Structure 1
């Protein structure tokens, strides 16, 4: 990997040297600008440089600039041609000692000859704008029946997981749009795995601050990465469908149906999955397990049956009214056998455990979204949104856990057998309205947004647990045995009111003053009824009932000066952030905070191929009900919870910076970014312990969790990426990585200690694609997780996981395709029964018809039945390792059907309809 990366970087940085010759060969960097007779840049002009038999060709960018790197002579001839201009040929004699040669402007004169229509696109494949990165889809070649995910895999900076995950430059893309409107409820997986690649004109990755920011330009808070797909004009009226039907052994099946109808701005989507497969096979996918954040995403466990029907509708009428609505139903049934082991950390010593769980989960969810935009005039805009979500979850667990407590009071040997049943229904709904008014004076704007959200969660828990205490680690000599039956009913309700007011006053052509006010009021209502029965050592816990309420008011008043043009966007100002946390029962808390913070946002696009961003934002976070409750929750006799009604509001400083550069001639893309969070008054759990004697000198330790505010915690995430396309994108190299550093203050028995974790994740991949008949994708990944605790009895932990993967496709005979995936893991640093699994998936398929619309498939998963990779999760209080479900070998036989019918380009009055930048059509 070192030699491959060096081969990429050496040409890029070689021009920084002082000599003009390498290995005896003369080299020069040559640049210039092409203008018309009025001094304006000529975009897309063809520039050819020639000396002897050596020649290179490029095109001018949006500023009329061209550039040749490492040309072998200071004497050369340049030929410049452009549509509507006469060709210019010039010969140059330069000093051969000059490394960098900047030519005088080349002026083209208009041609009097009428030329036949010729389309020349001199823009690069990737364009960077202030908040958007845009890819031209025509520059990336995929098979005729390819889905959108296959197209995205070939684009620089994109990482696509088999589970529908999309990562751009190390950050997960969270929502999807088609021509500027939410597609299939905004689900990224639905968009990239169902839309045909053949309909795509452009792919855009947008820093989305929400519809309110899109209308007003006020960008508050952190942006979400959004995928926007714009369709080709000739693929914007039509119907297409995708059908997949597969069945296999052990009652496995995977079925999918989508039906989409496009007519300019009108999009109708019907689709869904019906499947029963084994979770954990996706752990063979390098991408889905390597996201940024506190922890790497663990693979799911067990067997899952699910059904996910969905329908969505989007349309726009005459630019005055637009509508987006969606409904989805999710059914998920999961069963798993999960084995785990690890350590819990306390100031009094370690508690080591091993556990085996059998879990059955059932989830039913209804989700409805509705958004209407009304433009009664050019000066006024209204938006109404409604969202409704109802979940009904049930979980049944049985677990056997052996714990060895090595405390300063002596060893304790405890076994617990647990049988739980939990029913957890929840209902959420949200209403919001937005109003925007444009005054007669340009850029003078007033806008308001009001919203109301209600969340209600209920949990009914019945937990039967047998606690057994033994004389020694053999778990044979029983000292004390107890059986408890816990019945708990909890209800949590949240009413959230939010108002957002903004006024902008223009001060100059590009500058304006922004006045903003954001008010949020959270009203929390919590109640619980609990009863514990059984022969508990020390006596049974008394039944208790509690009702607990608290309010949180969060205000932000800002004054900001903003300067923005086509290349730069700068916001500087100040924000006042008062907050009030008040509890209404028990010990009253009226905790008021007042903070003054700067407002800083800066984006700069030097050209279409280079962008830099920096922002600072800050936000409050209120404690939850369990952390604030003014009483001790004794429902679990071995794990008591004591709230702290005097807690303060937590405050987070968030710094973000990103840089991206695309070199179109070399087809090299470079990116990097840093996220830094500094926490003030962070709410930290304090795990305390007290000991009681059972018999014969054997002790029983009970854990008491309380809460306190602590300063000094921070998190830093660094992301970096480098990709190189070769041979007209038939070959591609990519190197991506991230570094996550967490330094957190934790508490045990009232004493502070620091937990420091470092995660290094590097991924190198290559792609070899020849004529869409052969594709090979080798992959090398490495993860290093290192943790250290300032507690005296906790040793540092270092875990290393190296991952070698290879997948490929080979077309042969007549429309036959063979595919395979091989993934090998090498694990070091984990204790226990650590294996290095080799996971192999393979398949063969046969396509029919010219567009390969019908395909018969046969797939094999985990042929060697080794999907048993151990996964590790590190927290301030524990280090837990979990074994994946190994029962994962199965086979599927089926078919895929792609049907498409198109009716041309949307027109109005006989002319093609114009489009906005997001792909939507102007009626």
Structure 2
């Protein structure tokens, strides 16, 4: 199978090239206005007369001249678009000519009274203006009921992988907006997977400015690739949505309903779904799909100044159960629903939403681990099963008010209310090299937890009348409280020393609270038209308290375990004061800054919060944090960038707690209150290029990271009973460096596109194994290719192949050096058949190889579906889906780190068949009419 796919990839470009020879002609000319003045870099296109589909495209040169070579001999419509001019159109009939010279294509100035006529009758399927490429959605046909994701795959220069990640012009799409509004949060694919393609009027791809550049009015040279979806007028006047219901084999069920209603000021959405097909939707698709404009911070984090040395102290409020659920592994049942409302005008933006989700999960895991010691090794196995339940409520609120043209306030509040439980059973064994059983444990743990978290932020921005001068201030208060009850039950046998045999029956009651107050100030002063000076100050004070009570239980009697019971409080204060100078002129941006960062850590702990004897921690840490950045727009869609910075991160509360966690009797975890903040020197640089005439793109980047006081986990293994204890510690010296290169170009415009990429990532990690320093070197190499074939509206084929090679070498046990080779080959085919019947096939072939441990696994996954469009106005769809036809879906993973190798398998949802019906709700029938724009 792998050889066939490789042969296909290598031979296909040759076949395409051969198909381009013979019976061809060249089209050339000059683009001018009616006065004969040349129009440089105008967008040129060739269309088919029968349906106005796009055949070829490009741009004229700076002298207005163009030349399209190797064109198939046929009749075409030649079209030209240029800002401020009426699109030019001419019929082309090459007959027997080898060269067709149209001479001067004279374009008329677009007058105001003709604007409406041009919009309705002379729209171009493609236009290029500077770094903006705009597509007319109607020129790229997709089946009825398709999503925006399906539409994007048809657009030249845009790629969408199997996970829905989007790249355009060789760069990752950072943001997706709808009608220029930030409608679907930070994850671009949330919008593209759920909005219907028929709702889209235009798709625009451009380099957007950062939030800081927009707020200050000072160009920082940084760009974020953005995709804007412009809705049709018909979908702004009525509601639209979708309802799906499906039933399958093995009692599989799924249902989903969504409804959206937009106008120029308000956006309303409701969403609900339920299934037992592992589609959780949380934080990956449905939850963020409907969140709405302004629902996420989008850079409004309130931390001003350059990124180096910023505080990353765990302010996130995501609280999820630790039962390993989610994704496609295991078996899950999911239910969710919510509503969102947005109000958006020039001066006022309001977004509020509520979402509820619950999941029941079953995780059945088999794992084996090879553990490497200084001059020895041992094996361990684990068979475990977890039944987990989690439910969460998520209200959110964002309000932005432009008081006037100079003053703006923003108020953001997000909350999470979580509850859950888990039932964990495990059978663990450890063996010495000769296969002799050394110890084993039967574990049965149960837990219940509740948590509440809220993040609040108030921002104030003031722009002075002098351009570039501005002031900003922020205040934030976050809370994160939780409580958990655990019942730990285990029977532990040590075959080499029966005196260590034990039965654990404990109750752990843990209550933790966190409060964090933070604030920031920023002032930007323009020293001249080219130089800008910024001064900033960041402050944070966090208070944590953890009260853990552990009881040994025998029958109905509970006795406090003084060794494991702990009370811990920690006050963490952060200050950063800095300044930077920026030079910005004609696309050249150079900035240099320096900040002083101070951490203060004060804590105390004892066996009980009422204790009179506390052990105290009182330490401070100061460092200078430099930052240098370069961004240079070389024009013609070419960019160079580079940056150096020092990132500082303080230890997590979990690592600082001097608490022993014995929930796994064979793997004990301890905290370390003596940890100090870790820092990393980061250097990266790159070059991006996009040629809008040929739609060729190239990106190259290099990076280097060096760790100082990196927090790693010292592992100590008792050689007699193989009990492992880990404890975090600070180590200096780890590093990583590498490079990535990507290159993409059309083999045949609008028909075939090839993308190639390769990368290298070399890392050196330090840790201690039984108090001996271990150096783990990993050399990683990856190669990838993607070929998109879109020869017609009736057939598309998207293929990809990726290879990853990882060489790992250990300094303390070189005999366990290993090489892991993983391959991934994929293909998706779509076929339009008569009578509105469509066929879709997705094939994924994965290979996993590790010769050191004799591991070799091949996993072919094939999903098939056939569907028919039904009902008036094509509103309905009946679909039959076969998931995992070969019944080979296994949750397989390999993991190499520090001094161990783990192979993990998770029983997961495999072959099933699903019959579903989809009804597309549209507010107006006009939204599906096909108008002739050409």
* Structure-1-length-normalised TM-score: 0.78
Task: Write the distance in 1 (CA, Å) between the matches of 2:530 and 2:508.
Answer: 60
Kindly indicate whether residue 434 of structure 2 is the aligned counterpart of residue 444 of structure 1.
no
Contact 1:194–1:242 (8 Å) recurs in 2: no
Unpaired runs of 5+ in structure 1? 13-22, 49-55, 73-78, 88-105, 282-296, 472-476, 692-698, 906-923
Which residue in the other structure is 1:570 paired with?
589
Map 1:244-259 → 2, pairs under 5 A: 244-259=244-259
| Deviation of the 1:253 alpha carbon | 1.2
| Deviation of the 1:378 alpha carbon | 0.8
Map 1:146-157 → 2, pairs under 5 A: 146-155=146-155
| Deviation of the 1:461 alpha carbon | 1.7
Which of 683, 691, 709 lines up with 1:663 in the alignment? 691
**Residue deviations 1:326-369 (CA, integer Å, cap 9, x gap):** 22111111112111112233336323122221111111111122
| Deviation of the 1:859 alpha carbon | 0.8
Contact 2:372–2:378 (8 Å) recurs in 1: yes
Q: Specify whether residues 510 and 259 from structure 1 end up closer, same or farther in structure 2 by C-alpha distance, changes over 3 A only.
A: farther
Task: Write the distance in 2 (CA, Å) between the matches of 1:271 and 1:86.
Answer: 42
Which residue in the other structure is 2:624 paired with?
595
Map 1:38-57 → 2, pairs under 5 A: 42=40, 44=42
| Deviation of the 1:238 alpha carbon | 2.9
Q: Specify whether residues 84 and 842 from structure 1 end up closer, same or farther in structure 2 by C-alpha distance, changes over 3 A only.
A: closer
The alignment partner of 1:245 has SS state of: strand
Which residue in the other structure is 1:397 paired with?
424
Task: Write the distance in 2 (CA, Å) between the matches of 1:231 and 1:417.
Answer: 59
The alignment partner of 1:627 has SS state of: helix
| Deviation of the 1:442 alpha carbon | 2.0
Kindly indicate whether residue 703 of structure 2 is the aligned counterpart of residue 704 of structure 1.
no
Which residue in the other structure is 1:897 paired with?
919
Contact 1:470–1:479 (8 Å) recurs in 2: no
| Deviation of the 1:511 alpha carbon | 3.5
The alignment partner of 1:814 has SS state of: coil
Q: Specify whether residues 203 and 603 from structure 1 end up closer, same or farther in structure 2 by C-alpha distance, changes over 3 A only.
A: farther
Paired residues in the alignment total 824
Map 1:218-367 → 2, pairs under 5 A: 228-232=228-232, 235-278=235-278, 300-317=328-345, 319-347=346-374, 349-367=376-394
Contact 2:842–2:863 (8 Å) recurs in 1: yes
Which residue in the other structure is 1:379 paired with?
406
Map 1:503-902 → 2, pairs under 5 A: 503-532=523-552, 542-564=562-584, 568=587, 570-585=589-604, 586-604=615-633, 606-607=635-636, 609-630=637-658, 638-690=666-718, 699-716=720-737, 718-792=739-813, 795-829=816-850, 831=853, 834-849=856-871, 851-868=873-890, 870-885=892-907, 887-902=909-924
| Deviation of the 1:797 alpha carbon | 1.6
Contact 1:556–1:575 (8 Å) recurs in 2: no
Map 1:88-103 → 2, pairs under 5 A: none
Q: Specify whether residues 148 and 69 from structure 1 end up closer, same or farther in structure 2 by C-alpha distance, changes over 3 A only.
A: closer
Contact 2:427–2:440 (8 Å) recurs in 1: yes
Q: Specify whether residues 275 and 799 from structure 1 end up closer, same or farther in structure 2 by C-alpha distance, changes over 3 A only.
A: same
Task: Write the distance in 1 (CA, Å) between the matches of 2:911 and 2:355.
Answer: 31
The alignment partner of 1:355 has SS state of: strand
The alignment partner of 2:428 has SS state of: strand
Task: Write the distance in 1 (CA, Å) between the matches of 2:85 and 2:629.
Answer: 45
Q: Specify whether residues 350 and 177 from structure 1 end up closer, same or farther in structure 2 by C-alpha distance, changes over 3 A only.
A: farther
| Alignment root-mean-square deviation, CA | 4.5
| Deviation of the 1:214 alpha carbon | 3.9
Task: Write the distance in 1 (CA, Å) between the matches of 2:280 and 2:448.
Answer: 26
Contact 1:150–1:197 (8 Å) recurs in 2: yes
Task: Write the distance in 2 (CA, Å) between the matches of 1:9 and 1:444.
Answer: 58
Q: Specify whether residues 490 and 127 from structure 1 end up closer, same or farther in structure 2 by C-alpha distance, changes over 3 A only.
A: farther
The alignment partner of 1:277 has SS state of: coil
Q: Specify whether residues 42 and 222 from structure 1 end up closer, same or farther in structure 2 by C-alpha distance, changes over 3 A only.
A: closer
Deviates more, 1:629-638 or 1:233-242: 629-638
Contact 1:654–1:676 (8 Å) recurs in 2: yes
Q: Specify whether residues 542 and 375 from structure 1 end up closer, same or farther in structure 2 by C-alpha distance, changes over 3 A only.
A: closer
| Deviation of the 1:890 alpha carbon | 0.9
The alignment partner of 1:194 has SS state of: coil
| Deviation of the 1:459 alpha carbon | 2.8
Unpaired runs of 5+ in structure 2? 1-5, 47-54, 72-78, 89-103, 282-324, 605-614, 928-934
The alignment partner of 1:308 has SS state of: strand
Contact 2:42–2:81 (8 Å) recurs in 1: no
| Deviation of the 1:823 alpha carbon | 2.6
Contact 1:84–1:115 (8 Å) recurs in 2: no
* Structure-2-length-normalised TM-score: 0.77
Task: Write the distance in 2 (CA, Å) between the matches of 1:327 and 1:86.
Answer: 47
Task: Write the distance in 2 (CA, Å) between the matches of 1:758 and 1:298.
Answer: 30
Map 1:188-227 → 2, pairs under 5 A: 188=188, 190-201=190-201, 203=203, 214-216=214-216
Contact 2:127–2:133 (8 Å) recurs in 1: no
Q: Specify whether residues 571 and 664 from structure 1 end up closer, same or farther in structure 2 by C-alpha distance, changes over 3 A only.
A: closer
| Deviation of the 1:746 alpha carbon | 1.2
Contact 1:486–1:635 (8 Å) recurs in 2: no
Which residue in the other structure is 1:919 paired with?
none
| Deviation of the 1:143 alpha carbon | 2.6
| Deviation of the 1:321 alpha carbon | 0.9
Task: Write the distance in 1 (CA, Å) between the matches of 2:222 and 2:417.
Answer: 27
**Residue deviations 1:666-700 (CA, integer Å, cap 9, x gap):** 33233333454332111111112346xxxxxxx32
| Deviation of the 1:487 alpha carbon | 2.1
